């Protein structure tokens, strides 16, 4: 849909009494986000259909959003219908990569992740999906091959690397993960509280994916990663944990890269996915080279 069509849909939802100030919000590369005022309160409308090639199922996003609300981690769900999710608008600012380089903010974000992993399962209802990054990478590779991606020639080597990383990660403890911890998905409310938003990719996973994903998305230096892991696990990371964490961090970068490769072929949103792919491929290549250079072989 076009941005204008998205505004019309948001304006016409049945949950409103007298909608006003209908305007698009920045961010979101899998959906349209729109702010609406109604009854003296502000809301965020998220418009998006299922995206099977990315494992995005909107019924699942709704279930996780409701659980996150109940756990006190995310804004409240105001209304939902197929392709539509309406949430309370929380006045505040999305975090940036620079924000996560502040030690206090990083520790607060790490504590939020720990609460998320611990509290969410007690509030979940109905079937909940898993998010195993190595299955996702294999599925992405098959789809890219079938659709004649410009990256097809690189896929066999990337899958070999993914297999090495999966062996290095080893057995995992399952938690309910967010699985898309870009800085912009962490919101600092005007009262100072941190919220996590956007549950499209949530599901059962290793805690290392959220931790490694946050670190890679924010280009955290090694001392910040050590502080994050020490705070999360309540003990300094040993050699084994470092190895497993670094492997998962590489996998999170490869998943972001292949996500963008798929989006080059399938998305209709106005976003330069080719540039995003190339940027993330360079970041992944650097991380994987560092991982193997340290002798981190399984």
User: Rounded to an integer, what distance in angstroms lies between the CA atom of residue 197 and that of residue 188?
Assistant: 11
- Bridge partners of 32? 47
What pLDDT does residue 31 have? 82
Q: In the structure, what pLDDT confidence band is assigned to residue 1 with cuts at 50, 70 and 90?
A: confident
Q: What is the pLDDT of residues 183-235, one digit of tens each?
A: 999 999 999 999 999 999 999 999 999 999 999 999 999 999 999 999 999 99
Residue 153 pLDDT greater than 50, yes or no: yes
For residue 258 the two structure tokens come to 């292949």
What pLDDT does residue 96 have? 95
All residues at 6 or more sequence positions from 3 whose CB lies less than 8 Å from its CB, including other chains: 24, 32
- Closest Cα partner for 182 from 84, 255, 263? 255
> Can you spell out the DSSP letters for 244-276?
HHHHHHHHHHHHHHHHHHHHHHH--SS--HHHH
Q: Contact at 8 Å (CB) between 90 and 174?
A: no
All residues at 6 or more sequence positions from 34 whose CB lies less than 8 Å from its CB, including other chains: 6, 7, 10, 22, 23, 24, 25, 44, 45, 47
Whats the size of the chain, residue-wise?
A: 298
Report all structural domains of the chain as residue ranges with CATH numbers, in order of start: 3-90 (3.30.200.20), 93-293 (3.90.1200.10)
* Stretch 252-274: mean pLDDT: 91
Q: In the structure, what pLDDT confidence band is assigned to residue 86 with cuts at 50, 70 and 90?
A: very high
Give φ, ψ of 204 to 5 degrees.
-70, 135
User: Rounded to an integer, what distance in angstroms lies between the CA atom of residue 257 and that of residue 232?
Assistant: 27
- Closest Cα partner for 194 from 121, 110, 89? 110
Give φ, ψ of 209 to 5 degrees.
-70, -45
Residue 119 DSSP one-character state: H
Q: Contact at 8 Å (CB) between 277 and 266?
A: no
Q: What is the longest distance spanned by two Cα atoms in the chain?
A: 62
User: Rounded to an integer, what distance in angstroms lies between the CA atom of residue 185 and that of residue 196?
Assistant: 6
What pLDDT does residue 296 have? 55
What pLDDT does residue 139 have? 97
What pLDDT does residue 117 have? 97
What pLDDT does residue 142 have? 97
Q: In the structure, what pLDDT confidence band is assigned to residue 268 with cuts at 50, 70 and 90?
A: confident
User: Rounded to an integer, what distance in angstroms lies between the CA atom of residue 276 and that of residue 31?
Assistant: 17
Q: In the structure, what pLDDT confidence band is assigned to residue 28 with cuts at 50, 70 and 90?
A: low
Q: What is the pLDDT of residues 53-69, one digit of tens each?
A: 999 999 999 999 999 99
- Closest Cα partner for 150 from 56, 260, 29, 252? 260
Packed helices 155-169 and 273-293: angle between N→C axes, nearest 10 degrees: 50
* Stretch 157-176: mean pLDDT: 96
Residue 29 pLDDT greater than 90, yes or no: no
Q: In the structure, what pLDDT confidence band is assigned to residue 269 with cuts at 50, 70 and 90?
A: confident
What pLDDT does residue 267 have? 84
Residue 298 pLDDT greater than 50, yes or no: no
């Amino acid at each position: 849909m076009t941005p204008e069509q998205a505004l019309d849909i948001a304006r016409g939802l049945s949950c409103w009494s007298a909608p006003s100030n209908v305007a698009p919000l920045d961010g979101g590369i899998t959906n349209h986000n729109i702010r609406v005022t109604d009854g003296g309160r502000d809301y965020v409308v998220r418009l998006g259909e299922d995206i099977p090639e990315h494992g995005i199922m909107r019924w699942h996003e709704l279930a996780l959003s409701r659980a996150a609300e109940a756990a006190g981690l995310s804004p409240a769900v105001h209304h939902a219908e197929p392709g539509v999710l309406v949430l309370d608008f929380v006045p505040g600012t999305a975090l940036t990569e620079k924000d996560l380089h502040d030690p206090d903010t990083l520790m607060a974000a790490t504590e939020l992740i720990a609460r998320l992993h611990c509290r969410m399962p007690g509030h979940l209802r109905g079937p909940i999906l898993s998010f195993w990054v190595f299955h996702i990478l294999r599925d992405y590779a098959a789809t890219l091959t079938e659709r004649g991606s410009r990256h097809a020639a690189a896929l066999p080597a990337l899958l070999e690397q993914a297999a090495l990383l999966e062996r290095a990660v080893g057995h995992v403890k399952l938690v309910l993960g967010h699985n898309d911890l870009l800085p912009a998905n962490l919101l600092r409310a005007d009262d100072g509280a941190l919220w996590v938003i956007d549950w499209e990719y949530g599901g059962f996973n290793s805690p290392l994916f959220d931790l490694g994903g946050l670190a890679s998305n924010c280009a955290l230096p090694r001392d910040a990663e050590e502080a994050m892991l020490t705070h999360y696990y309540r003990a300094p990371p040993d050699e084994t944990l470092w190895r497993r964490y670094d492997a998962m961090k590489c996998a999170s970068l490869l998943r972001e890269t292949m996500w963008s490769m798929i989006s080059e072929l399938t998305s209709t949103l106005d976003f330069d996915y080719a540039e995003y792919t190339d940027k993330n491929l360079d970041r992944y290549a650097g991380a994987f080279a560092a991982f193997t250079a340290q002798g981190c072989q399984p």
